[in-house]
Copies of this chain bind each other. A is one copy, B any other.
Amino acid sequence: MSMGIGVIGAGWIGQEHIRRLTERVVGANVVAVTDIDAERAKKVASDVDARALGTGQEVIDDPAVEAVVVTSWGPTHAEYVLAAIAAGKPVFCEKPLATTAEDCLRIVEAEQAHGRRLVQVGFMRRYDAGYRQLKQVIDSGGIGTPLLMHCAHRNPTVPEGYHSAMAAQDTAIHEIDTVRWLLEDEIVSAQVITPRSTSNKYDHLTDPQFMLFEMAGGARIDLEVFVNCQYGYDIRCETVGETGSVSLPDPAQVWLRSAGQVRTEVYQDWKDRFADAFDVELTEWVRAIHDDGEPTGPSAWDGYAASVISDATVESLHTGRVVNTQLKDRPDFYG
């Protein structure tokens, strides 16, 4: 098999996905690329013997394109995903699915109108080996009914353009999806608590933020988002249930004993920490599209829910209040 893929957006993440689809994923073939920067599109396309096209719509319309990958600027996601649905082509969209809950909802409705799942959202943590083991232990009853989850999401630093709302929209959105998936339950409220901010940051930024989420079933989630923690990219997750607890391990790294210490390295970059997860994500997506014609990963509904919940989180950051999430009823279409 070899599925023709069109990529819309050839920036950093687009190039990464093109590289993965070319070098790491069996059965995929990037055939068309577009970017707002036509020169960049040409350069990237020529590296993999793909066509550089002028617009996202041209990519979607290209007969050789059997499935679409959307890695353009966030505000353009909705347009391209809707166009792919209109064309009846499977589309893998990097998070966020859209920059407003309304646009997410339009996608959800369009997909339902189409009658079959076409959309997958790029929440790659569901493909991380550690998280999958975590889910397996939870699902198998290894810790009993989950009651609490303690999470941390730390980056060594962020660029100056990062603003306080992005802690929810860009960073916590990964845990928002992960929690919903791990617990198979919905988040009903969000609250942000703001500790003293680090001095290693921009004046405009509230960092760290301590977030609290409540699940419909009563479990409570706490999440430290700290994007200027200095020391590394570090992801922690412990789920506590009625009879035990299960935790993500630190990544396996060699242990060095020297100069009076036992030590191991911490990743500095999410691209390294989740490199394998990205490979598995695209591999399984291509395989599912090829075998069944529809994706099995995070759905448009998951993208919509993450959008609503991160909006509620930002609202809490601004108001200081607990904010209830106002999700529509989940359509049967999404199981």
Which residues in A have some Cβ–Cβ distance to B below 8 Å?
22-26, 129-130, 133-134, 137, 142-145, 147-148, 150, 152, 193, 195-200, 208, 210, 212, 217-220, 222, 224, 226, 229-232, 234, 240, 242-266, 268, 276
Contacts and interface: CB of A to CB of B under 8 A. Distances in A.
A62 to B, nearest CB: 22
Contact of A261 (B137, B197, B263): B263
B229 A240 contact: yes
A243 to B, nearest CB: 5
A330 B220 CA distance: 36
A249 B252 contact: yes
A243 B222 contact: no
A318 to B, nearest CB: 18
B198 A133 contact: no
B137 A254 contact: yes
Given A208-B240, A220-B210, A261 B266 contact: yes
A46 to B, nearest CB: 16
Contact of A26 (B24, B134, B219): B24
B266 A260 contact: yes
A17 B253 CA distance: 27
A196 B147 contact: yes
Contacts of A261: 231-232, 263-266
Contacts of A150: 150, 152, 224
Contacts of A250: 252, 262
A145 B196 CA distance: 10
B195 A133 contact: no
A255 B264 contact: no
A150 B210 CA distance: 11
A142 B245 CA distance: 25
Contacts of A249: 252-255, 264
Contact of A143 (B219, B252, B256): B256
A252 B254 contact: no
